[in-house]
Amino acid sequence: MQFLSIFHEINGDLKVVEKELEKYVLTQEPELTLAAGHLLKAGGKRIRPAFALLAGKFYRYDFEKILPLAVALEIIHMASLVHDDVVDASMTRRGHPTVKAKWGNRVSLHAGDYLSAVALKLISQYQDKRVLKVLSRVTVEMCRGEIQQISASFDAEQNLRDYLYRIKRKTALLISASCELGAVVTEAPEKIVRALTRYGYHVGMAFQITDDILDMISDEKVLGKPIGGDLRQGIITLPVIYALKHSQEKEHLRELVTKQVKSEEEVQEIIRLIKDSGAIKYSFDMANIYLNKAKKELNRLPDVKTKKTFKKLTSFIGERSF
């Protein structure tokens, strides 16, 4: 399934979102503009604004109303990526050098802060207080999720509950908010808003689980970043948690996972042990549990054309390779 083809009904609107993103990364400071613009040029799925636009299709779609929200959602995501790359010391993203790699930590942090401020400016124009309330809560939780991830680095004692709580904060809540607020700004009935909120949450959980799987099994050229990046940074993901309990060499695996500096051979050894433990299948099964829950929420929504698009998007998340 081609990713872009899923969005055929909003492709034109997504192009406008892209142009608006280009406009909002322009500043009077050339270096800041270059840094923020660099991340934008690296591309991305634009999945958060796409969710917002599609969610708006379930009631009285008004692109002009949704546009500031769609742009703000992607800018919030971009800001989080810039900050993440500083914390994780990541040098590549989507096959391109990160802002950190090209401009260093100081410019990166200011670029992320600037983008966050731009998003705040965009959402401040909405009179419905739910927009600001939801996005304020979500951004706070995203920060807490990052702090939780940092504090738990190389900690092999993490369990499934710890992991699910962390990815909820890091990923699922913003995708859920994208679906929720796309409906809110088009003044959709509350039952539509609630179903889309829950749908976005379940899809967001599955999205992050598959992301963590791909960090171990994808092709580096397709993924756009080195395989095993989470392992090098000490991020304990679902496949690792499962393998630490079920691997036939769990003690050896624990020793490797908790090692703060790993050779390339050790990273590949960890991935082999994880694959041999059945952790990849288990993790895909867990992602599918969330995707099935998301599909049930779609059944609560009106039978409009966009519902089929959401079903295709749900399937893509379970099958994607990047």
User: So what's the pLDDT on residue 252?
Assistant: 98
To 5 degrees, how large is the angle CA 251–CA 257–CA 260?
Answer: 130
Cα–Cα distance between 87 and 89 in angstroms, integer? Answer: 6
Q: Which residue has the higher pLDDT, 129 or 224?
A: 129
Least confident of 183-197, 211-225, 261-275: 211-225
- Structural domains present in the chain: 9-125 (1.10.600.10), 128-301 (1.10.600.10)
Mean pLDDT of the chain: 91
User: So what's the pLDDT on residue 95?
Assistant: 61
- pTM value is 0.91
User: So what's the pLDDT on residue 53?
Assistant: 98
User: So what's the pLDDT on residue 88?
Assistant: 66
Q: Is 237 left (phi over 0), alpha (psi -120 to 50) or beta?
A: beta
User: So what's the pLDDT on residue 35?
Assistant: 80
User: So what's the pLDDT on residue 1?
Assistant: 47
Q: Which residue has the higher pLDDT, 184 or 88?
A: 184
pLDDT at 274 over 50: yes
| Mean local confidence (pLDDT), 295-318 | 94
Give pLDDT tens digits for 130-175: 999 999 999 999 999 988 998 999 999 999 999 999 999 999 999 9
| Alpha-carbon distances, residue 120 vs 39, 71, 73, 153 (angstroms) | 19, 11, 10, 31
User: So what's the pLDDT on residue 50?
Assistant: 96
SS3 72: helix
User: So what's the pLDDT on residue 264?
Assistant: 94
For residue 306, give the nearest of 2, 10, 65 by alpha carbon. Answer: 10
Residue with tokens 């969610």: 55
Give me the sign of the Cα torsion angle 261, 264, 265, 266.
positive
User: So what's the pLDDT on residue 29?
Assistant: 77
User: So what's the pLDDT on residue 281?
Assistant: 97
User: So what's the pLDDT on residue 125?
Assistant: 93
- Give burial (CB, 10 Å; 0-12/13-18/19+) of 250: middle
pLDDT at 20 over 50: yes
